[in-house]
Amino acid sequence: NAGAIAAWDTGATGAGIGVAVIDSGIDFAQADLLGRISNLSTDIIVGRNTPTGTVGPEGQPAHGTTVSGVIASNFNGFGTIGVAYEATIVSIRADVSDCTDPKDKVCFKSSDLTRAIDYAIAHNVPIINMSLGGETQMGGQFEAALQRAVNAGIVFAIASGNEAGASPEWPGRYATDPRFAGSIIVVGAHNAANQMADFSNRAGVSAAAYLSAPGVDIITACDGTSCWRVNGTSFSAPAVAGALALLLDAFPNLSGRDAVQILLTTARDAGAAGVDDVFGRGLLDIAQAFQPIGPARVSMSSGASVSVTSQRFAYTGGAFGDAIQAARALQTVGRDDFERLFRVNLAAGYGMAPRTTANLLPAADRQQARLTTHGPLGTKLSLTTGATVDEAPYDLAAATSVITPWLDDRRREDAMVEFSTGRGAVAFWQGRNGARSPFTLGAADNFASLAQVDRAWLGAVRLGALTLTADTGVGDRAMPFQAREEDVSSYARFVADWAAGPAGRVRFAVGGLDEKMGPLGSYAPLDSGFALPSSTTFGSVAGRFALRHDLFLNAEMGWARTELAGQFLSLSETAVSSSWSLGLTTFCKQLGFGCESLTWSIQQPLRAESGTFTAYLADAPLEYFDPLTFSRRSFSVAPSGRQIDLSLGAVHRLGDGSAVNLRAVVTRDDQNVRSSPTALTLTGNWRRAF
In a domain, 348, yes or no: no
Taking alpha carbons only, the member of 298, 293, 286 closest to residue 337 is 293
Q: Are 133 and 255 contained in the same domain? A: yes
Report the relative pairing of strands 350-351 and 314-315 from DSSP bridges: parallel
How confident is the model at residue 503, as a pLDDT? 77
Over residues 243-268, the pLDDT tens digits come to 999 999 999 999 999 999 999 999 99
Q: Are 549 and 406 contained in the same domain? A: yes
* Residues facing residue 335 across a β-bridge: 297, 341
pLDDT band at 382 (very low <50, low <70, confident <90, very high): very high
Burial class (CB in 10 A: 0-12, 13-18, 19+), 382: middle
Over residues 584-616, the pLDDT tens digits come to 998 776 555 667 888 999 999 999 999 999 999
Has residue 492 got a pLDDT over 70? yes
For residue 346, which phi and psi values (nearest 5 degrees)? -65, -25
Q: Are 362 and 281 contained in the same domain? A: no
Question: Averaged over 277-286, what is the pLDDT?
Answer: 98
Taking alpha carbons only, the member of 319, 294, 293, 639 closest to residue 450 is 319
Taking alpha carbons only, the member of 511, 498, 500 closest to residue 540 is 511
Q: Are 32 and 109 contained in the same domain? A: yes
Q: Are 426 and 279 contained in the same domain? A: no
Residue 649 CA to residue 666 CA, distance in Å, equals 12
More confident call, 481 vs 174: 174
Q: Are 85 and 219 contained in the same domain? A: yes
Amino acid sitting at position 515: E
- Give one word for 142, left, alpha or beta, with left for phi > 0 and alpha for psi -120 to 50: alpha
Instruction: Tell me which of 98-102, 140-144, 390-394, 633-637 is least confident.
Output: 390-394
236 DSSP assignment: T
Query: Percentage of the chain surpassing pLDDT 90?
Result: 69
In a domain, 575, yes or no: yes
In a domain, 79, yes or no: yes
In a domain, 303, yes or no: no
Has residue 406 got a pLDDT over 60? no
128 DSSP assignment: E
For residue 511, which phi and psi values (nearest 5 degrees)? 180, -170
Domain at 230, CATH number: 3.40.50.200
- Give one word for 487, left, alpha or beta, with left for phi > 0 and alpha for psi -120 to 50: left
Amino acid sitting at position 191: N
Angle between helix axes 140-151 and 110-122 (nearest 10 degrees) is 20
Burial readout 83-93 (b: 16 or more C-beta within 10 A, e: otherwise): bbbbbbbbbbb
User: Are the beta carbons of 583 and 602 closer than 8 angstroms?
Assistant: yes
- Computed over every residue of the chain, the mean pLDDT equals 89
Q: Are 510 and 423 contained in the same domain? A: yes
Residue 246 CA to residue 259 CA, distance in Å, equals 9
Question: Averaged over 98-106, what is the pLDDT?
Answer: 69
End-to-end CA distance of the chain: 68
Q: Are 388 and 508 contained in the same domain? A: yes
Burial readout 184-203 (b: 16 or more C-beta within 10 A, e: otherwise): bbbbbbbbeeeebbebbbbb
pLDDT band at 686 (very low <50, low <70, confident <90, very high): confident
* Residues facing residue 189 across a β-bridge: 213
Residue 172 CA to residue 211 CA, distance in Å, equals 11
User: Are the beta carbons of 245 and 17 closer than 8 angstroms?
Assistant: yes
Q: Are 281 and 426 contained in the same domain? A: no
In a domain, 372, yes or no: yes
530 DSSP assignment: -
* Residues facing residue 38 across a β-bridge: none
Over residues 570-579, the pLDDT tens digits come to 999 999 999 9
Question: Averaged over 151-172, what is the pLDDT?
Answer: 98
Q: Domain ends where: 289, 308, 325?
A: 289
Over residues 641-674, the pLDDT tens digits come to 999 999 998 888 777 778 888 889 999 999 999 9
**What string of DSSP letters covers 461-517?**
EEETTEEEEEEEEEEEE--TTSPPEEEEEEEEEEEEEEE-GGGEEEEEEEEEEEESS
For residue 507, what are the domain limits? 356-687
Q: Are 66 and 184 contained in the same domain? A: yes
Q: Are 268 and 361 contained in the same domain? A: no
In a domain, 328, yes or no: no
Q: Domain ends where: 259, 289, 319?
A: 289
Has residue 398 got a pLDDT over 50? no
Look at the chain and count its residues: 690
Q: Domain ends where: 262, 289, 316?
A: 289
Has residue 399 got a pLDDT over 70? no
Q: Are 252 and 395 contained in the same domain? A: no
In a domain, 344, yes or no: no
Over residues 109-152, the pLDDT tens digits come to 999 999 999 999 999 999 999 999 999 999 999 999 999 999 99
How confident is the model at residue 297, as a pLDDT? 92
Residue 209 CA to residue 600 CA, distance in Å, equals 68
In a domain, 654, yes or no: yes
Question: Averaged over 57-73, what is the pLDDT?
Answer: 90
Number of domains in the chain: 2
User: Are the beta carbons of 603 and 595 closer than 8 angstroms?
Assistant: no
How confident is the model at residue 393, as a pLDDT? 45
Has residue 396 got a pLDDT over 50? no
Domain at 437, CATH number: 2.40.160.10
215 CB-near residues (< 8 Å, 6+ apart): 188, 189, 190, 191, 197, 200, 231, 232, 233, 234, 235, 236, 239
For residue 20, which phi and psi values (nearest 5 degrees)? -80, 125
Instruction: Tell me which of 487-491, 499-503, 571-575 is least confident.
Output: 499-503
Residue 70 CA to residue 85 CA, distance in Å, equals 9
